[in-house]
Amino acid sequence: MLRKPRLLLRRLWRTTTGLVAIVGIVFAAAILAIGAISYEVTHEALEQQLDHRIAAETAGLLAEAHRHGLPAIAGAITRREASRSTASLEYLLVDQTGSRLAGSLQADVPAKPGFEEFFHYRKPGQDEVATAQALTTKVAGGTLVVAADRSGLDEIDRTLAILFAGALAAMLVVGALAASIIGWLTQRRLSRIDATAQAIIGGDFTRRVPRDGSGSEFDRLAGTLNAMLDRIEGLMESLRQVSSDVAHDLRTPLTRLCGSLDQAAGEQDEALRAERLDSARAQAAELLEIFAALLRIAEIEGMNERLPRQRLDLTALLEKMAESYRPDFEDSGHILQCWIAPDLSVQGDHRLLSQVVANLLDNGLSHTPPGTTVELYARPTAGGVSVVVGDDGPGASQADRERLFNRFARGEQARSTAGHGLGLSMVKAIAEAHGGSVSILDVPGFAVELRLPRKS
């Protein structure tokens, strides 16, 4: 029996319109409860006021009886009825035999003394039975009944009931209207998100959720979703680039590997066959190295929010890297010069930042002729730290500079040297993972600037 109402409540709770409707019903129930309590409190207060008025009047008449007996009460009742108004009380005074002594109240005398909330009587000259609130009191030689008509109290009760019913109806109407409007507005905003999601499912990764700039919850949600979509689009573009680069740039090494294996398979001379197989193994190792570098770059690009960060003494790290590379520079006939500002610190990963510096110094060693001066300098900036590794070698053309951070991209000057064109891609991935940036400076020779924020 209770299953259907529960299912209906769950369905309402899961929709915006239903949720607002439930809230409206709860408010209506609260108003109904408040109205019922207010009605009861008001009604009781009015009844107490009426009882107090009857009791005060009875006390006044009894005071007359103590002084002069029943005739005094009868006289007082006669005077009061002579000056009757619409708000006057009704009186009845009878003796011990039940004979009327005074008062125009047309009713039977109650058998028991005390208050009676619903005392029925007939108004003078009318056949209609009215209801009054009465107090019956035994006096020496008779009985006194003082009554107050309840028509005014009943009218107030009806007015209160109408007011509360109107407020409840208004609340229900306003609640239903608010539920409709809020549900419509919410569905309209959510439909934009849904349309964007459907477009992205269809392959349009450029779509974004519209924003109204209000800073509301929906506007902030749209901003968060757009940032997520930007991130996904960047990852998808990176994946497409990797796929294209792998298909294009690994074709030649794979072709050479297959050729070496075919030659080894058809070689009759054992020594030449072993030489061919060694060459194939070397080429396979090179391919594995390339794939490992690609996977490492992809891993770094995907760990922006999960990158372990700690406070690093960047000055000490750069000085240590320079000292470890200095013998290699001297052996190759290169010159390494350093200008590193003291007390440089950043938030980041020690191993990855060491990899950045190593890649940039390796570029200076590998792609410049002997006698080239390679400079490493670092300084504080307004937003963080700037690290530049540059040389006075042949440099790269403007066309090459625009693509050198892409995977497998190599400048014309580097075609004759060892490498796979992944070093600067690794540098860019690490820089962005730290919340920084990397760029090629427009200076003579070749210089790469790494910018890191103080807190990333």
What would the pLDDT profile of 376-390 be if each residue is shown by its tens digit?
989 998 888 999 999
Q: For residues 375 and 449, is the Cβ–Cβ distance under 8 A?
A: no
pLDDT of residue 103: 81
Quick one: residue 103, left, alpha or beta (phi over 0 = left, psi -120 to 50 = alpha)? left
* Higher local confidence (pLDDT), 26 or 293: 26
* CA of residue 252 relative to chain centroid, distance: 52
Judged against a pLDDT cut of 80, whether residue 132 lies above it is answered with yes
pLDDT of residue 93: 85
Mean pLDDT along residues 230-237: 75
Whole-model pTM above 0.75?
no
- Element at 339 (helix H, strand E): strand 335-340
**Rounded (5°) CA angle 428-433-438:** 30
Give per-residue pLDDT as tens, 432-442. Answer: 888 888 888 88
pLDDT of residue 414: 47
Judged against a pLDDT cut of 60, whether residue 309 lies above it is answered with yes
* Higher local confidence (pLDDT), 427 or 176: 427
Judged against a pLDDT cut of 90, whether residue 243 lies above it is answered with no
Q: For residues 17 and 183, is the Cβ–Cβ distance under 8 A?
A: yes
**Spatial distance between the Cα atoms of 24 and 175, rounded to a whole number of angstroms:** 5
Cα dihedral sign, 390-395-398-400: negative
Q: What are phi and psi of 443, to 5 degrees?
A: -135, 165
Neighbours of 155 (CB within 10 A): 10
pLDDT of residue 307: 63
Q: For residues 119 and 136, is the Cβ–Cβ distance under 8 A?
A: no
pLDDT of residue 435: 84
Give per-residue pLDDT as tens, 168-204. Answer: 788 778 777 877 787 787 778 778 888 888 888 887 7
| Pairing, β 373-380 against β 335-340 | parallel
pLDDT of residue 65: 67
**Spatial distance between the Cα atoms of 238 and 34, rounded to a whole number of angstroms:** 63
Q: Angle 16-68/70-82 helices, nearest 10 degrees?
A: 130
* Higher local confidence (pLDDT), 346 or 298: 346
* CA of residue 129 relative to chain centroid, distance: 66
* CA of residue 169 relative to chain centroid, distance: 34
Q: What is the mean pLDDT of the chain?
A: 78
**Spatial distance between the Cα atoms of 151 and 149, rounded to a whole number of angstroms:** 6
